[in-house]
Amino acid sequence: MHLPPKSLVTLAATLGASLAGAATPDEELGARMDRVIERAIAEQRIVGTVVVVMRDGQVVYRRAGGFADREAARPMTEDTVLRLASITKPIVSAVVMSLVEQGTLSLEDPVTRWLPDFRPRLADGSQPPITLKQLLTHSAGLSYGFLEAEHGPYRTAGVSDGLAEPGMRLEDNLERIASVPLSYPPGTQWRYSLALDVLGAVLEKASGKSLPALTEERVTGPLDMHDTAFTVKDPARLGAAYRDDRPQPSRMQDETAIRTGDSTTLFSLPRIFDPRSYPSGGAGMAGTADDVARFLDTLRQGGGAILSQASVQAMMTDQVGAQAQTQGPGWGFGYGWAVLDDPALAGTPQSKGTLQWGGVYGHSWFVDPQARLTVVALTNTTFEGMSGAFTQEVRDAAYPAP
């Protein structure tokens, strides 16, 4: 299902300006986005992409470019399904806030209320309590294997980052996470982590439902996000996955390890098709750009049918402080995403309060509430589509030239 088209008023204004010979702001934005996409594909930095831009709740730009599967010459289309990786996090964070609203959960709950056996310790052997809020804000002392050195503690313990290890049970991964000393005392620092995977287990225990069923009930169902789930409903529409290489991105194998510096990120493409694989609350979903844009813009507008405005406001508030530098200088973190505290320090045209995150399979998105703007750029190219020049180029194209 596509997002709603432009309103008739917007369309009439666009046609009127075009007939008068002047480009509208939306047409200028579209021309800038076209140039960004075409250049990135021509320079073979990305294989394929779908970009959706919404302003004031209306789609003002949508384009698919390049290949969903280069070797099969299958073009990227607007309804191509892609592995979302960490775009899963804000969706699951919204599920958490939904259960908080109904009183099932409190963010001040200790995780042991719901997972009595999940009791990681500090290096000195002490066992500090961890709250659900600390999990939601990545301030619980947990980590990711891909953030550590090659033989770091998570890798040594066999912890899954939710991207590989097909067939692993959530209970087994929780046991492995808890066996590793905490990186710091909970609540004292910020570190990107497997916290949303742990929260997935809390959600299942508190609701008595599986995380996929609960997510469909609370978020994807009410928002008609029919193509977004912890499984791929139509494998023929799933895009292939590629990795940065020169002279052009190379196709990922079923099991791929990508080393960057001292760390390694592990990918398993068959994982999402293995029903034994636990549903990773931090990285396990697949979906379309339209679905992601619909979700994000619903929250920008106050929560719609899924959350109250008060819950959305809490999610959009920096909960950890800009010193965490969650996307570099000037960025803090709310519930599910980075929050921009200082645009000048960050060196960005985005407004204060902008929300931003991405996904390791090659995605980026941001929501600028002041500009009433939502931008989603999904690609099938790791890491360029998440943290390469393409991400900044899309961001800059969304704003008029200074």
Does the domain at 8-89+223-241+279-397 match CATH 3.40.710.10? Answer given as yes
Q: Tokens representing 347?
A: 């060196």
Q: Residue 402 has what pLDDT? A: 79
Contacts for 115 with CB less than 8 Å, ≥ 6 apart? 174, 198, 201, 202, 205
Query: Which residue would you say has higher pLDDT here, 402 or 256?
Result: 256
Alpha-carbon span 201 to 192, nearest angstrom: 18
Is the pLDDT at 289 greater than 80? The verdict is: yes
pLDDT at 56: 97
Place of tokens 């609540």: 187
What's the mean pLDDT in 376-390? 98
Q: Parse the chain into domains and list their residue ranges.
A: 8-89+223-241+279-397, 92-217
Query: What CATH number matches the domain at 92-217, 3.40.50.300, 1.10.1280.10, 3.40.30.120, 3.40.710.10?
Result: 3.40.710.10
pLDDT above 90 for 390: yes
313 Cβ partners below 8 Å, 6+ apart? none
15: confidence class by pLDDT, cuts 50, 70, 90:
very low
- 49 in helix, strand or coil? strand
**Which residue's structure tokens are 């895009």?**
239
3-state helix, strand, coil in the chain (%, to 5): 35, 20, 45
Q: How many residues does the chain have?
A: 402
**pLDDT (tens digit per residue) in 61-85:** 999 999 999 999 999 999 999 999 9
Strands of 143-260 (E only): list them: 242-243, 250-251, 255-260
pLDDT more than 70, % of the chain:
95
Report the pLDDT averaged over residues 334-361: 98
**Residue 1, pLDDT score:** 40
Task: Return left, alpha or beta for 289; rule: phi > 0 is left, psi -120 to 50 is alpha, else beta.
Answer: alpha
> What pTM did the predictor assign?
0.94
Model confidence at 20, in pLDDT bands (50, 70, 90)?
A: low
Q: From the candidates 86, 193, 268, 277, which is the catalytic residue? A: 86
**200: CB partners within 8 A, 6+ apart:** 92, 170, 211, 278, 279, 280, 281, 282
Same CATH fold, 92-217 and 8-89+223-241+279-397?
yes
- The pair of structure tokens assigned to 94 is 């919204």
Q: What is the pLDDT of residues 50-67, one digit of tens each?
A: 999 999 999 999 999 999
Q: What is the mean predicted confidence (pLDDT) over 320-344?
A: 97
Residue 401 binned pLDDT confidence (cut-offs 50, 70, 90): confident
Other residues' Cβ atoms within 10 Å of the Cβ of residue 16:
11
Average pLDDT, the chain: 95
137 neighbors 337 (Cβ within 8 angstroms): no
pLDDT digits (tens, 9 = 90+) for 170-190: 999 999 999 999 999 999 999
What number of helices (H) and strands (E) belong to the chain? 14, 15
User: 315: closest CA among 355, 262, 365, 257?
Assistant: 355
H/E stretch holding 263 reads strand 263-268
Task: Tell me 218's DSSP state.
Answer: I
How far is residue 114's CA from residue 259's CA, in Å, rounded to a whole number?
Answer: 36
Does the active-site annotation cover 86?
Answer: yes
pLDDT of 17 reads 47
- Helix residue spans in 160-253 (DSSP H): 170-178, 195-207, 211-215
Residue 380 confidence class, pLDDT cut points 50, 70, 90: very high
Does residue 218 register a pLDDT over 50?
yes
The tokens describing 131, both together, are: 């709250």
